């Protein structure tokens, strides 16, 4: 499909199909909830089902390769149009803290001026600013306890479906590290624990029905299996630590027979899943013990990031790390060439035209968008953690509070995980993060108004 055809399809999707869908959704609260669940479910889809890119540069190893349009964003537009047709005079269109995310994007756009490749920088600016639609749509559509129940069941279903795909890859296709419908196994593992910990937390709530508890725990079990099959060490550690914190938070509210029973089920299921993936875990541990080159490469990439930041306080340009650290334009390729030469390798310049990006999300942001973009990001992240802490205290013993507990743990783990992985650069995980922040912003608004989420109606 050429770019002109893509442009027509994208325009029709955002400005014709999505508004018409929104008008239809406004006729029924059930339709609106179904669209909200679709929004939550879609980040698990294969990338080629979700995105179209204009001016795509497939050779580039940056975090976006073109001007990206997303089917998820079109559903978000539909939900926003649906909210407009509700004719609620008290509606609040922008979530709390929305301006902070836009400030982060604005500060990051300052890197457009020193960018080595302005077009690539514009690609990132469009991607990260446009995905803000998901934040607004989730905030507008998520309004009551029934919405929460629908969302949690959807997450559980998505995890179980992805687990079936992963098992097919392992047992029938014979793959060692499976990636499901994701680009790579690491993003899938991050998505899995991001979905699973809120499910576990709500499953532990006394008010959660037996039926829903079973559904949510099945989703958690599927997530555990997914993470084990990816053999992602960081995600496995995050999932295990996060699960323990969620359980402790539940126990602080009181130890019940339900909590004890679920702990027993989780222990047995964890043992069974561990046995299933034991061979892969052993192979991965042996691989890591035999090769320390991966850690050395991470240090070299961080060294490149630091050099870029020293030379360019405003950044080398959003989405320009792969240009700056690779030949022919990137002077920082020399750092990797020197490292290879120190290990006794012969230097062939053809090997340095597509060097990898730094694994650390924070160093990537610092190198690409400089001190200002990084500061904007850190402030926004801190505010989201503050929302989580305040709403957890406000709704401590309610189902909303249990959901927030899992969400707060996930956010803290994801932000910590960002020190070693580019956790929120891939479109799918970035989308799910902003959807969850839209939910959290709604709960924060409820806290400010002194009321919990309402029970909900059809």
Q: Which helix (H) or strand (E) holds 166?
A: helix 145-167
pLDDT per position as a tens digit, 326-337: 888 878 988 999
Lowest-confidence pick of 205-214, 228-237, 354-363, 416-425: 228-237
Residue 290 buriedness (CB in 10 A; 0-12 / 13-18 / 19+): exposed
Hey, how many other C-beta atoms are within 10 angstroms of the C-beta on 319?
30
With a cut of 80, say whether residue 279 has pLDDT above it: no
Would you say 355 and 413 are in contact if contact means Cβ atoms under 8 Å apart? no
Q: State residue 287's pLDDT score.
A: 54
Mean pLDDT (the chain, rounded): 89
The residue behind tokens 């630091």 is 306
Q: Which of 276, 268, 200 is nearest to 231 (CA)?
A: 276
Q: State residue 63's pLDDT score.
A: 84
Virtual torsion, Cα 361, 440, 380, 122, nearest 10 deg: 60
With a cut of 90, say whether residue 281 has pLDDT above it: no
Q: Which of 396, 397, 389 is nearest to 440 (CA)?
A: 389
Q: State residue 245's pLDDT score.
A: 95
Q: What is the mean pLDDT of residues 434-457?
A: 89
pLDDT per position as a tens digit, 162-218: 999 999 988 888 887 788 888 888 899 999 999 999 999 999 999 999 999 999 999
Q: What is the mean pLDDT of residues 336-353?
A: 86
Residue 401 buriedness (CB in 10 A; 0-12 / 13-18 / 19+): buried
Task: Tell me the C-alpha distance between 21 and 35, whole Å.
Answer: 10
Mutual angle of helices 132-141 and 98-108, in 10-degree steps: 170
Rounded alpha-carbon distances, angstroms, from residue 355 to 114, 341, 403: 21, 15, 41
pLDDT per position as a tens digit, 15-24: 999 999 999 9
pLDDT per position as a tens digit, 38-97: 999 999 998 888 888 988 888 888 888 899 999 999 999 999 999 999 877 778 889 999
Task: Tell me the C-alpha distance between 319 and 364, whole Å.
Answer: 9
Task: Tell me the C-alpha distance between 316 and 326, whole Å.
Answer: 13
**Model confidence band, residue 274 (pLDDT cutoffs 50, 70, 90):** low
With a cut of 80, say whether residue 263 has pLDDT above it: yes
Q: State residue 290's pLDDT score.
A: 47
Q: State residue 80's pLDDT score.
A: 96
Q: State residue 430's pLDDT score.
A: 95
**How many separate helices (H) and strands (E) can be counted in the chain?**
20, 2
Q: State residue 76's pLDDT score.
A: 97
**Model confidence band, residue 234 (pLDDT cutoffs 50, 70, 90):** confident
pLDDT per position as a tens digit, 287-300: 555 455 555 788 89
Residue 449 buriedness (CB in 10 A; 0-12 / 13-18 / 19+): exposed
With a cut of 60, say whether residue 285 has pLDDT above it: no
What is the C-alpha radius of gyration for the chain, rounded to an integer number of angstroms? Answer: 22
Q: State residue 291's pLDDT score.
A: 52
Task: Tell me the C-alpha distance between 186 and 10, whole Å.
Answer: 29
For strand 51-54 and strand 67-70, is the pairing parallel, antiparallel, or unpaired? antiparallel
Q: Percentage of residues in the chain with pLDDT exceeding 70? A: 93
Q: State residue 56's pLDDT score.
A: 86
């Amino acid at each position: 499909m050429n770019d002109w055809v893509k442009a027509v399809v994208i325009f029709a999707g955002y400005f014709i199909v999505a508004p018409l869908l929104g008008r239809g959704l406004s006729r029924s609260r059930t339709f609106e909830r179904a669209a909200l669940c679709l929004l939550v479910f879609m980040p698990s889809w294969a990338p080629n089902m979700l995105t179209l890119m204009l001016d795509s540069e497939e050779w580039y190893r940056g975090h976006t390769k073109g001007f990206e349009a997303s089917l998820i964003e079109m559903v978000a537009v539909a939900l926003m149009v649906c909210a407009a047709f509700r004719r609620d005079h008290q509606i609040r269109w922008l979530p709390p803290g929305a301006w902070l995310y836009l400030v982060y994007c604005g500060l990051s756009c300052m890197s457009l001026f020193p960018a080595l490749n302005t077009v690539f920088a514009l690609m990132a600016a469009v991607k990260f600013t446009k995905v803000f639609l998901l934040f607004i749509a989730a905030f507008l559509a998520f309004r009551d306890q029934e919405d929460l129940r629908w969302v949690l069941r959807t997450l559980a279903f998505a995890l179980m479906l992805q687990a079936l795909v992963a098992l097919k890859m392992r047992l029938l296709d014979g793959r060692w590290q499976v990636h499901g419908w994701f680009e790579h196994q690491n993003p899938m593992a991050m998505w899995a624990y991001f979905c699973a910990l809120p499910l576990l937390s709500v499953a532990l709530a006394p008010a959660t029905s037996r039926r829903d508890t079973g559904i949510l725990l099945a989703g958690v079990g599927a997530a555990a299996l997914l993470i084990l099959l990816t053999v992602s060490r960081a995600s496995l550690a995050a999932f295990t630590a996060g699960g323990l914190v969620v359980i402790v938070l539940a126990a602080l509210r009181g130890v019940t027979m339900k909590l004890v029973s679920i702990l027993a089920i989780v222990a047995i299921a964890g043992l069974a899943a561990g046995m299933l993936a034991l061979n892969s875990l052993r192979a991965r541990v042996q691989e890591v013990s035999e090769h320390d080159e991966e850690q050395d490469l991470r240090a070299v990439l961080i060294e490149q990031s630091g050099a870029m930041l020293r030379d360019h306080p405003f950044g080398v340009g959003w989405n320009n790390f792969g240009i700056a650290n690779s030949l022919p334009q990137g002077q920082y390729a020399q750092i990797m060439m020197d490292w290879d030469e120190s290990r006794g390798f012969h230097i062939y310049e053809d090997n340095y035209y597509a060097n990898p990006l730094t694994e650390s999300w924070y160093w990537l942001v610092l190198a690409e968008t400089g001190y200002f973009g990084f500061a904007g990001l850190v402030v926004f992240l801190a505010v989201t953690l503050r929302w989580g802490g305040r709403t957890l205290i406000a709704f401590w013993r309610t189902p909303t509070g249990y959901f927030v507990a899992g969400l707060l743990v996930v956010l803290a783990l994801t932000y910590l995980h960002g020190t070693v992985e580019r956790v929120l650069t891939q479109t799918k995980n970035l989308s799910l993060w902003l959807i969850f922040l839209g939910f959290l912003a709604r709960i924060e608004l409820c806290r400010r108004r002194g009321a919990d989420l309402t029970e909900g109606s059809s």
